[in-house]
Structure formats: C-alpha cells, structure tokens
Amino acid sequence: MTGDGKEMDLPQGTPHIAPEAPIAPSVLMPGDPLRAQYISEKFLDSPRRFNSVRGMLGFTGTWKGKDVSVMGSGMGIPSMGIYSYELYSYFGVESIIRVGTCAAYRDDIELSDIVIAQASSTTSSWAEQYQLGGTFSAIPDFGLLEASAAAARRLGRRFVVGNTLCIDTFTKYNHIPKVWRPWTAMGIVATDMEAYSLYCIAASLGKKALAMFSVSDHREKDLHLSVADRETALDGMIEVALESL
C-alpha cells in the first residue's frame, strides 16, 4: 500500500531482495538491518517489511504522507554496491540516502555531529570496473545535498559538509598507525566504508544519492560513543535525511 492508498504490483526479486511489500522511490540505507527496523518503527507510519533475504531487513512506510523505504546495506563498499545497484536497477528506486556512522578527524567536529559527504575519496579500486582511464570524483546529487544542509540548519543540528574518505579497512584495526594523516592533510573530514560505491553506482545509472553520517568516533581525539549511545545518537541525522527527501 502506498501513501495515496493504492496497492502496487510487486516486481520480481533478485538473489538479494525478494519484495514482500512495495519499495518506495526514496530509500534510507543504514548499514545494520536492525537499525533499518528501528528507523521504520520509530519514524515511519504503517511500516511493512519488504525484504528479509539473508537477514537484510527492509521496510516501507510513510513520512509526512510520503512513501519512504529503509533497508540495511551491510558493511563495506561491495555490500553497498550490491544492494544499491539492485534497488536502482530492478525496483524503481530513484534516490538513496546512506545514513550511517563515521570516524571524524577535524578538531571542530564533535561526537554525534552530522557529516554530509560533499564528495567521497577512496583507496578502493571500485571505479576501475568503469574503464575510465583516470580517477573518478564521486559526488552526490546536489539537490539532496542542498536539501540536507537546509534541513540540518532548520532543525538546529550541528553538521559539517566536506570531503570524506571511503576505505575497505576499519581504521581502528589498520596496522599502520594514524594511516589517515596524509588524507586529513588534504582536507578529509571523516572516513566511512560505503559512500564511494553508492556515488559511483548512482552516477552510472543516472540516479540520485547522498551519504550522511553521525560521528561515532573521533580518531584524533580518541573519543568514542558507547554502544547504547550509538542506538540513539543517530536520531537527529535520520530526521535530517527524511526532511531532505
């Protein structure tokens, strides 16, 4: 059932998504499928589960009368790549906003601040598949970026817009101490593990994408949110993302 009360025909599934309910044109994607369930139950009206394949939960409901879906992406560039590609290519999705956590580096950023990825740099070879013969600058849809910054201001949320670094390794476990330092010298404000593939796929398919993060760790200050705080600190970012659609 959609926001206007009409029933939608369900498309045929893929190996990773088997729709049990309609999928909206706009999707929020946290990494954790249980966080997707939390978002659907707390923020969406009348949520219905549309996917449970491999435990990757997805739900569709409405936000202020607009159809919105939320689905987990898993962790890392390849997992985001699979789910975002299938949502865009097979299920009529037009916009995906990645809503996750990140590690920040800049001194003026605090825990629970929102980071909006104006661009995504990477150490990954993901873009080699496009045979571009150069380095691809992965950027979001400007309309979503502009709307998210406006929503953050309107809601009074602390936020930063900047270039982020998307990598294949969790920096805390990297064997090279402070491996991020050369990147921060180039103005990188935070690091994540999903944005680059999302931006590339959206660009290749002519779709819209944006990645935003709630700061869960600050590497330079050695600050970290507790497990309990991580469950609630993202609420402000989720509201900003929903207001951006």
Query: Any idea where the domains of the chain sit in the sequence?
Result: 26-244
**Is-contact 90 15, C-beta < 8 A?**
no
How many whole angstroms separate alpha carbon 237 and alpha carbon 45? 18
**Tokens matching residue 226:** 């507790």
Q: Tell me what pLDDT residue 34 has.
A: 95
Which among 91, 28, 27, 17 has a CA at the least distance from the CA of 54? Answer: 17
**Is-contact 49 61, C-beta < 8 A?**
no
**Is-contact 145 98, C-beta < 8 A?**
no
How many whole angstroms separate alpha carbon 68 and alpha carbon 51? 14
Of 9, 113, 217, 222, catalytic: 217
**Does the annotation mark 235 as catalytic?**
no
Residue 231, amino acid: E
Q: Tell me what pLDDT residue 233 has.
A: 78
Q: Tell me what pLDDT residue 10 has.
A: 79
CATH number belonging to domain 26-244: 3.40.50.1580
- Strand partners for 138: 120
Q: What is the mean pLDDT of each run of 10 residues along the chain (245 residues)?
A: 54 92 97 96 98 97 98 97 98 97 94 97 96 97 98 98 91 70 94 97 98 93 83 89 97
Angle at 97 between CA 188 and CA 189, to 5 degrees: 10
**Tokens matching residue 79:** 């997992």
